[in-house]
Amino acid sequence: MTGHDLSRGMPRPAQFAPDDAGAHADALERILRRIPQRWGREISHGPGWYPIVVACHEQLVAIDPDYVVHQVKQKYGTLNYYCTSDAELTPEQWEAFDAITDQAARVSAVTCELCGEPGEMCERREWFKTLCVPCGEPLGYLSVARKGGAVEQH
């Protein structure tokens, strides 16, 4: 009976963080709770980018603790972190705000979306993802750079 009562008092597990969030679950949960409910609270990219997303979030919070997230997703192989601020930011702060999400996109372009190791733009039937070779090959994703070289030989 005591055990049962204790379990009922346990804090609820993360509601929105992805199942594979691991050590990043709390941070991702805080990010997802910033997305207005109607937008859909999900992160649609692989776990290799979770550290990039968390670092991006921590820098944005430093500029505006109440900034709003719209979407966190993979698009054409890079991370798109869409967010905005309702605070009265200075032009310099807006610049810094944009620079942070731009930097996250640049880092994602050289980081495997699945494992976080160095990666490069890969393609499978016109779907683009940034992956490392060990992650990409079993999924049929091939490096765009190497593929491009092969096409030129035709």
**Footprint of Zn ion (CB under 5 A):** 112, 114-115, 117, 132, 135
Q: With contact defined as beta carbons under 8 Å apart, do 20 and 11 qualify?
A: no
Minimum distance, C-beta of residue 152 to Zn ion, in the bound complex (Å): 27
> What CA–CA distance (Å, rounded) separates 43 from 149?
34
CB of 119 to Zn ion, least distance (A): 6
Q: Closer to Zn ion at the Cβ: 64 or 116?
A: 116
Distance CA 98, CA 13 (A): 32
Distances, alpha carbon 99 to alpha carbons 11, 14, 44, in Å: 36, 29, 22
Shortest Å, Cβ 116 to Zn ion: 7
Per the CB < 8 A criterion, the answer to whether 67 and 41 are in contact is no
- Taking the complex as a whole, the smallest distance from the CB of residue 9 to Zn ion amounts, in Å, to 40
Name which of 31 and 120 has its Cβ closer to Zn ion. Answer: 120
- The kind and range of the H/E element at 87 are none
Pick 72 or 112: Cβ nearer Zn ion: 112
Q: Which is nearer to Zn ion, 52 or 135 (CB)?
A: 135
